[in-house]
Amino acid sequence: METNIQNLGECSFVSPLTHSSFEVTFRSDSERVLFDHLRNEGSPATSGAQNNSEIGFELAGPRENLFFDPSKTTAAVVTCGGLCPGLNDIVRGIVTQCHTRYGVTRTFGFRYGYEGMISRYGLTPMTLRPESVSQIHNFGGSILGTSRGQQDIGEMVDLLEEMDVDILFVVGGDGTLRGASALSAECKSRGLRKAVVGIPKTIDNDIMYLDKSFGFETAFAMAVQAVRSAYVEATGAINGIGLLKLMGRDSGFIACYAALAGSNVDFVLIPEVHFELEGSGGLIEALHYRVAKRRSAVVVVSEGAGQHLVPHSSATDASGNKVYGDIGLFLRDKITQSFRQRRIASSVKYIDPSYMIRSVPANAQDNVYCSQLAQHAVHAAMAGKTGMLVGRWHGAFVHLPLDMVTNGRRKVDPQGELWNSVLESTGQPARLY
Amino acid sequence: METNIQNLGECSFVSPLTHSSFEVTFRSDSERVLFDHLRNEGSPATSGAQNNSEIGFELAGPRENLFFDPSKTTAAVVTCGGLCPGLNDIVRGIVTQCHTRYGVTRTFGFRYGYEGMISRYGLTPMTLRPESVSQIHNFGGSILGTSRGQQDIGEMVDLLEEMDVDILFVVGGDGTLRGASALSAECKSRGLRKAVVGIPKTIDNDIMYLDKSFGFETAFAMAVQAVRSAYVEATGAINGIGLLKLMGRDSGFIACYAALAGSNVDFVLIPEVHFELEGSGGLIEALHYRVAKRRSAVVVVSEGAGQHLVPHSSATDASGNKVYGDIGLFLRDKITQSFRQRRIASSVKYIDPSYMIRSVPANAQDNVYCSQLAQHAVHAAMAGKTGMLVGRWHGAFVHLPLDMVTNGRRKVDPQGELWNSVLESTGQPARLY
Amino acid sequence: METNIQNLGECSFVSPLTHSSFEVTFRSDSERVLFDHLRNEGSPATSGAQNNSEIGFELAGPRENLFFDPSKTTAAVVTCGGLCPGLNDIVRGIVTQCHTRYGVTRTFGFRYGYEGMISRYGLTPMTLRPESVSQIHNFGGSILGTSRGQQDIGEMVDLLEEMDVDILFVVGGDGTLRGASALSAECKSRGLRKAVVGIPKTIDNDIMYLDKSFGFETAFAMAVQAVRSAYVEATGAINGIGLLKLMGRDSGFIACYAALAGSNVDFVLIPEVHFELEGSGGLIEALHYRVAKRRSAVVVVSEGAGQHLVPHSSATDASGNKVYGDIGLFLRDKITQSFRQRRIASSVKYIDPSYMIRSVPANAQDNVYCSQLAQHAVHAAMAGKTGMLVGRWHGAFVHLPLDMVTNGRRKVDPQGELWNSVLESTGQPARLY
Amino acid sequence: METNIQNLGECSFVSPLTHSSFEVTFRSDSERVLFDHLRNEGSPATSGAQNNSEIGFELAGPRENLFFDPSKTTAAVVTCGGLCPGLNDIVRGIVTQCHTRYGVTRTFGFRYGYEGMISRYGLTPMTLRPESVSQIHNFGGSILGTSRGQQDIGEMVDLLEEMDVDILFVVGGDGTLRGASALSAECKSRGLRKAVVGIPKTIDNDIMYLDKSFGFETAFAMAVQAVRSAYVEATGAINGIGLLKLMGRDSGFIACYAALAGSNVDFVLIPEVHFELEGSGGLIEALHYRVAKRRSAVVVVSEGAGQHLVPHSSATDASGNKVYGDIGLFLRDKITQSFRQRRIASSVKYIDPSYMIRSVPANAQDNVYCSQLAQHAVHAAMAGKTGMLVGRWHGAFVHLPLDMVTNGRRKVDPQGELWNSVLESTGQPARLY
């Protein structure tokens, strides 16, 4: 696991933060945050364990010397992929930090994701200033707009050259960050001294080596409201079933947390845990049993769960993600049918709140978290870091190589504490097959 | 228009309210609220106008003499049809008013709508007491549960006889109130001295002769949040379209109010106003024009709008309502298709928030309104009124005959102020055909 | 009671609304809304009653002919007095209506109330355009700022002349509206053809001849949250007392509604109902009795209640309102003291949420109501109405003469339904003396 | 620093979790979480640094063997001190975990803090069952009630003996936890095999060795709303000043986070950072400068800030905390006075929202966090841990000795990142003296 961060070159400019009215604690690249902070006193330290414990991530924070000369630097930001609470906070944080702390006064926002970086599409970049972004955190979405999908790396770098952009901040998920990595590589191969810094965005909270992704807390708080609606609908009808589909293509974090917070959920179905519909151990049987006992049930399903059950095409969306079959509608129909077949009066209420969840403004906690991410991204970029992203690990802000992070996804561990808590809280069988 | 209210008989018991520690203002049946309070000074009073202006509704409020002897009275309440914010407030208000003001201490709640009044279904009624209902207004839905559809009138009256229920409060919509009317008639034909009092429930705000229905303000406030989501999604994508389906089978009040409050809507489609999809004056053309101009658009559609466009079955649901074709999904597909055909990049985000809207707890305004409705329902029932419901007309609480109210539906007037304001606020063409 | 509205003169311009794409229903001055819509069938119509029932208010709405030529008209708006939810909605509504419906493109906002109309203070008026006000309803307060107090009428009219303002919209309370009346009179005496139109603002809901004032519903919903806090604090401690001071200088509407909606209040004290602290029938005794019984109590007091008890100065504030003694702090100390004297452990938690209530953004209901008020104010002004205000009476929007409205205050009727409901809901003695 | 946890004795009962339908990952006492997870690659590992890095906290989680026999165990919980969001979640979590996972079916709740553990006060403990606590997390406060202050340790242990309570869960702050430590010691000295397990509560987030305290996120989100009110009030008046007092006796975390999230704050005053009022570098001068520049200012002050300025008594409250002088009212008067002296029109709006902040229900994030804390507290207690508390350190749940935690307070570091961000965000001078 390579955790070292790529640097554009020697840092020969003194940071304007050294002239702050208050004492700034500068960080050096040799400061690391341990990857593993658990120890077992009983077991003898094997050399492997020792090595593992020594792997660490570069600590984020202001550097005393900068690679870029602030007075001559141009920065730009682009937001890609699906909406997520906090995008505007990130944009605002970057612009404010650039202007007020570093004196970088040329900051642009590319429109509608990577599309806005292809000049022949004619999407004029926005000029961003602290005044124009000062209240945008009160609104959901992204003032820049977003889009899915890759664009030609060469054309994008052409535009960066043409506009003289030195630093590009890229906010997006997996695919977007792979694009950022390619942009960084292309700049390098052209001999351009440009920094590409990522800020990982995933409403599913499924990015590796991150305590949590921005917007996740806001999102799951909204999801809890949807759980509440499902519960009210379920208990309001004879043998009522509230069925709720939540985000989570590959990871069921939102479904798990929403179930834990609301505590009125009977079944949680996530991509990480296999289940079957039919058969004596399957979901349908378990659901009938539960409804017979309690007269109602609430089922929460991640969009990526049970994909082997759903007929699906081989298509991919603009981001290159496989288009999933709709497990929510599928379950709705199957459950309805099963009650009908057994001639049991029932009523299935299906809720798909995804757009209402991802479009809300960030809550207070995410307001703060997003500003901190943005601040650290700017610190890193000014020091000439590139091909990397900022994250938080065990409570500390760190720098991570882009490639390390996009190589896998964080998942709910079916043997871990979180899933145990969910099983406990729902009382659902550990095996639904 | 017959506005007189049916009375069970002579009121020979003195109201316990006469012993209140404070002076209660009793009302008499001769107090009326004018149906029409507009006058035109210029035009000579024709006898017709004169007559019309003299039609009035019986004023609600406490009566000095009661038909029922409080100490020997048993009351029951049933909630029917779809969920609506405020149901628990109504239940709570009735129970509290019966117990604390009239000393009626036996109050029951039938479970799951009219089904709970059919004894062979075995749904034991709940015994309701002030303590057990004191906090239920903090939760959405109905603690009694609801169901759709009629049940056998005779069997229901049998149960009322068996349980010795003197007063039945029926909370529900159109169909439910027709049932209440039948129950009242059946009691009369059996010579039973039982009062059946309705409290009209319609999240669509489409009941005649009512200023507004309970729960409507809560519902449209939630709808405004959904509009905001649709707007954020629309503006977040290139040529983004936020499509929102709201309640409103026959009337578009929620759609209209949500559009007015949020002010980010480009098209409102309601059942009262005809529109076509195709053709140079149709919705699709207008939408393309708008998107070309603004790069995004928000469309709000009532579930009952454009039914001539949607393929639909001849089925009816358990309440006897015609099952509507899904105009939301229909529009989503048609709009998506039209952009594809013209090879214009676009992205349609479809939101159907109905269950999340109707399941929330009543807001403060509806808390108060529901208690007032419940109080007046109890006043009316104790005075032996039957076959009627309580409502509010021009700010005053009144008694209305059940049959008068279920004979039609309140609708948005396409020539009226409300629709004018919507056209103005959206800027949509007055004719979409 | 004179209900006729003053007109600047003949309306010789055709309204641009006649060219709307949709049919606008124009109103004429002869259309009236009855002041009294209650009738008593039993009692013979006395001539007095007859007359009273014939008094009516001019119906608001668009006029077919205008006094002002839209293309040459300049409008301005000023917000005065304390903050109230909805101020920004009103400003936004006026600007939008002027521009988009009437084509009046010069609209100004005076800064900080009447102070902004005194040119020597140097407070440059803001130029307001639809784009610049399109999102302001998402924020509390007033983008114009406000101030209390009168300014020199002559100087203000001088500025109107200088700036060529034809129409002045004045948003404010009692004192402000008296100022508006004086401004209108001064214009008349100078022979200026300027319209002064008021929009009544009072978070206390105490303006005469109005169904409700804008912002009131938003405010009392926030007050309900404060009641909930008081209740949680009270029940969280042994013999805990939650004491909440709410707005209401002369009228206790907010206190009453907040108590009704929240239903956890034990005592409501309002300006309209006398109470004493000491003595066997006084508040202190009743409170000790309640606490002994329930171990906690919640007391809600309007700021204007019990003023005979509080030591107060003879001062007046900038608006000319008498400075009230602080009944909240007074009660806090007296109650604390009384428990201490009787050596009963207790804990008084005092909450004064006024600034947190009045500064929130308007809720969805008030969003709509404020736009409607603004629209009607613009309709009236364009038709040359002056010295008047727009209001809503029994559900209909009307024109009211300024002088009629500022001649008294709407109050909670101690014999009426509202106060009865409060007594019932709290169970407090009808007399606290 | 002693981080080892006291154990009551040998664990000879097999945990019922071994029979779970799913595989539970048991933890052993030898698993530790490092205290310090930062490393500096550049600097040679000194023996001190090495040692420090090896200090670790015992990892929390289920143990395979238990000290207590679940079928014979009685547990009790007590909540002490001021209200804090999440108390009901903790109570609910403990009861649910005891019953559903361990089969401990006798769980009591002592009323009103330690007072409820003194039998002569006659406060009958509540019997708690999963059904009775299943919805309490929807309400603020504590269903048990709380009180401040110590009670006689001997009498409390007497009651534990009398009621046969084996495990006592104590939820409270500093003073309360010192009491818990004394209770644990007293049990030991009497030879009683009782576990006393703490769950640290502090709305100020000032407990040592904790990532964050429960309820903190909920609280600061509410504080952000208060900041918004202060800002609206400040900008609504000429030279308006919004002054907000927030919790924080010794630590300014809430003030700092609220300022960062809201971003409309001009001055933050916290206990950790000295400031003076007068003098050319003092607050008053800086405030006048800011107001002159921007026409308004928002000041946020922690209740414990600037105590050297405020006249204060030598009194202590029931918890033994020094009674602080009221810096909020003091600043309000001083600021008002200073503007008056300089004859500058101004308007100071003072907001003290503490009771409205601490009484709200926990948000979704805190719902989850509180259940997790409760679960780990039960795991620890069942394994015979005592004199300890559960906390979270760098993302991992751990056991901490009570004495270690109550020996100091966590504070905002005036040289650290948080305070730097605040200075940056407010633009206030680093020194106000």
pLDDT tens digit at each of 433 positions of chain C? 788 999 999 999 999 999 888 889 999 999 999 999 999 987 655 444 445 446 799 999 999 999 999 999 999 999 999 999 999 999 999 999 999 999 999 999 999 999 999 999 999 999 999 999 999 999 999 999 999 999 999 999 999 999 999 999 999 999 999 999 999 999 999 999 999 999 999 999 988 889 999 999 999 999 999 999 999 999 999 999 999 999 999 999 999 999 999 778 999 999 999 999 999 999 999 999 999 999 999 999 999 999 999 987 667 776 667 777 899 999 999 999 999 999 999 999 999 999 999 999 999 999 999 999 999 999 999 999 999 999 999 999 999 999 998 888 899 999 888 999 999 889 999 999 9
Chain A partners (3+ C-beta pairs within 8 A) = B, C, D
D396 touches A38 (CB < 8 A): yes
pTM for the whole thing?
0.95
Whether C32 and B39 lie within 8 Å, measured CB to CB: yes
pLDDT tens sequence across B216-236:
999 999 999 999 999 999 999
Identical fold for domains B6-39+55-213+360-405 and B216-359, yes or no, is yes
Whether D238 and C112 lie within 8 Å, measured CB to CB: yes
How confident is the model at residue D103, as a pLDDT? 96
Does D52 score more than 70 pLDDT? no
Domain C6-213+362-393 has CATH 3.30.1950.10: no
Residues of B in Cβ contact (< 8 Å) with A139: 232
In the predicted model, what is the mean pLDDT of residues A293-302? 97
CA distance B30 to chain D (A): 46
Alpha helices (runs of H) in D112-252, residue ranges in sequence order: 130-133, 153-163, 174-189, 216-235
> Token digits for C298?
């919640």
From B30, B100, B371, residue closest to C260, measured CB to CB? B371
From B25, B220, B364, residue closest to C415, measured CB to CB? B25
For testing the chain D interface, which of A5, A39, A372, A379 should be mutated: the one with the most D CBs within 10 Å?
A39
B138 at D interface, C-beta within 8 A: yes
Chain B partners (3+ C-beta pairs within 8 A) = A, C, D
Tokens 């209909």 sit on residue: C396
In the predicted model, what is the mean pLDDT of residues D279-298? 96
The architecture that CATH gives domain B216-359 is 3-Layer(aba) Sandwich (3.40)
Of residues D257 and A316, more confidence is placed in D257
Whether C112 and D353 lie within 8 Å, measured CB to CB: no
B34 at A interface, C-beta within 8 A: no
Locate the chain C residue with the closest alpha carbon to D226. C356
CATH topology for the B6-39+55-213+360-405 domain: Rossmann fold (3.40.50)
D231 touches D243 (CB < 8 A): no
CA B201 – CA B173 distance, rounded (Å): 5
Locate the chain C residue with the closest alpha carbon to D115. C238
Spell out a b/e string for A53-66, using b for 16 or more CB atoms within 10 Å of the CB, else e: beebbbbbbbbebb
Residues of A known to be catalytic? 204
CA B249 – CA B301 distance, rounded (Å): 11
Residue numbers in chain B where pLDDT is lower than 50: 46-53
Locate the chain B residue with the closest alpha carbon to D136. B135
> Token digits for B416?
């009226």
In the predicted model, what is the mean pLDDT of residues A126-155? 96
Residues of D in Cβ contact (< 8 Å) with C351: 355-356
For testing the chain C interface, which of B17, B31, B37, B52 should be mutated: the one with the most C CBs within 10 Å?
B37
Name the catalytic one among C89, C174, C204, C366: C204
Residues of D in Cβ contact (< 8 Å) with C222: none
A337 at C interface, C-beta within 8 A: no
Question: φ, ψ for residue A16 (rounded to 5)?
Answer: -60, -15
CA distance C49 to chain B (A): 14
What rounded mean pLDDT belongs to chain D?
93
What rounded mean pLDDT belongs to chain A?
93
Residues of C in Cβ contact (< 8 Å) with B367: 224, 260-263
Quote ipTM for the complex.
Answer: 0.94
Whether A261 and D429 lie within 8 Å, measured CB to CB: no
B134 at D interface, C-beta within 8 A: no
In this structure, is the dihedral angle defined by the CA atoms of residues A416, A419, A423 and A429, taken in order, positive or negative?
negative
* CA-angle at B41, arms to B40 and B46, nearest 5°: 70
| Sequence-ordered strand ranges (E) for B214-356 | 240-246, 267-269, 296-302, 347-351
How confident is the model at residue B324, as a pLDDT? 75
D49: pLDDT confidence band, cut at 50, 70 and 90? very low
D10: pLDDT confidence band, cut at 50, 70 and 90? very high
CA distance A382 to chain B (A): 29
What does the DSSP assignment read for D323-369? PPP-HHHHHHHHHHHHHHHTT---EEEEE--HHHHHTSPP-HHHHHH
| Nearest one of D212, D409, D222, D186 to A212, comparing CA atoms | D212
Tell me the residue type at A318: A
How confident is the model at residue D383, as a pLDDT? 98
CA distance C336 to chain D (A): 15
Domain boundaries, chain C: 6-213+362-393, 217-359+414-426
Q: Which residues are bridge partners to A53 per DSSP? A: none
Whether D263 and A41 lie within 8 Å, measured CB to CB: no
How confident is the model at residue B23, as a pLDDT? 86
How confident is the model at residue D311, as a pLDDT? 82
D138 at B interface, C-beta within 8 A: yes
CA C378 – CA C387 distance, rounded (Å): 14
How confident is the model at residue D402, as a pLDDT? 95
CATH topology for the D217-359+414-426 domain: Rossmann fold (3.40.50)
In the predicted model, what is the mean pLDDT of residues A402-411? 90
Whether A41 and D34 lie within 8 Å, measured CB to CB: no
In the predicted model, what is the mean pLDDT of residues A334-346? 96
Chain D partners (3+ C-beta pairs within 8 A) = A, B, C
